[in-house]
Amino acid sequence: MKFFIQKSGCGCSSVPQADSCGCSATLEATDSCPNCSKYGIAVSDVTIKSQLKKEYLETLADRSGFSFCKNPQCDTVYYKDKLSFSQSCVRNKVTVKNDDPQTPLCYCQKLLKKDFFEMIEAGEENIPAKLREIIARGKSFCEKSNPKGVCCTDDVKAFVESHGLTWGECRPAARTNKLFSVTAKPFYAYRSKI
Ligand SMILES: [Zn+2]
């Protein structure tokens, strides 16, 4: 199976599409959402298998070729041609579509919107830096964990900025080889079982 390891950037080790930073690594969908007509991003069969609830997954003969609708106002999460799956068909709450405090910001590290609000209430400083540190901590498996199939950083950045905080620069050089060597081994082991 072909996949890419993100060697630099946001600290995430499993962004499927190589990108200069990794934080915006997405592959534009070639077709638009049947619900809102906006173009989403392509997701892999691995993401579909991990995210769709069992009863909907069982209806699919072919899990490939799906796209993720990133429009916050649209209830559709995945689509392919005329076929679409709404939020109720997906195991995880979707960051850009769900205001519930229990909605994850970083799926791999189980960082919730609730955690962000608690930081605000506690009057913590440098919250964006703390969030970045949490996201980069431990191993990442975004292709399976995140309904979008890629690193959460773009969406966390947009969420933080929508609450009046400045996310700051995402600097690829800030991530060290040490972090990569820690995350890479479990990731390879993980993927080899698929
Ligand atoms: Zn849509």
| Domain ranges (residues) in the chain | 28-192
Q: How far is the CA of 78 from the centre of ligand 1 (A)?
A: 8
Q: How far is the CA of 164 from the centre of ligand 1 (A)?
A: 26
Q: How far is the CA of 37 from the centre of ligand 1 (A)?
A: 6
- Assess contact for 106 and 132: CB atoms under 8 A: no
**What is the CATH number assigned to the segment(s) 28-192?**
2.20.25.270
Burial of 139 (0-12, 13-18, 19+ CB in 10 A): middle
Number of Cβ atoms within 10 Å of the Cβ of 194: 10
For the chain, 194 residues long, give each residue's pLDDT as a single digit of tens: 333 333 334 555 544 433 334 444 568 888 999 999 999 999 999 999 999 999 999 999 999 999 999 999 999 999 999 999 999 999 999 999 999 999 999 999 999 999 999 999 999 999 999 999 999 998 899 999 999 999 999 999 999 999 999 998 655 434 443 333 333 323 333 333 33
- Assess contact for 124 and 114: CB atoms under 8 A: no
Predicted local distance difference test score (pLDDT) of residue 28? 84
- CA dihedral (144, 151, 70, 17) positive or negative: negative
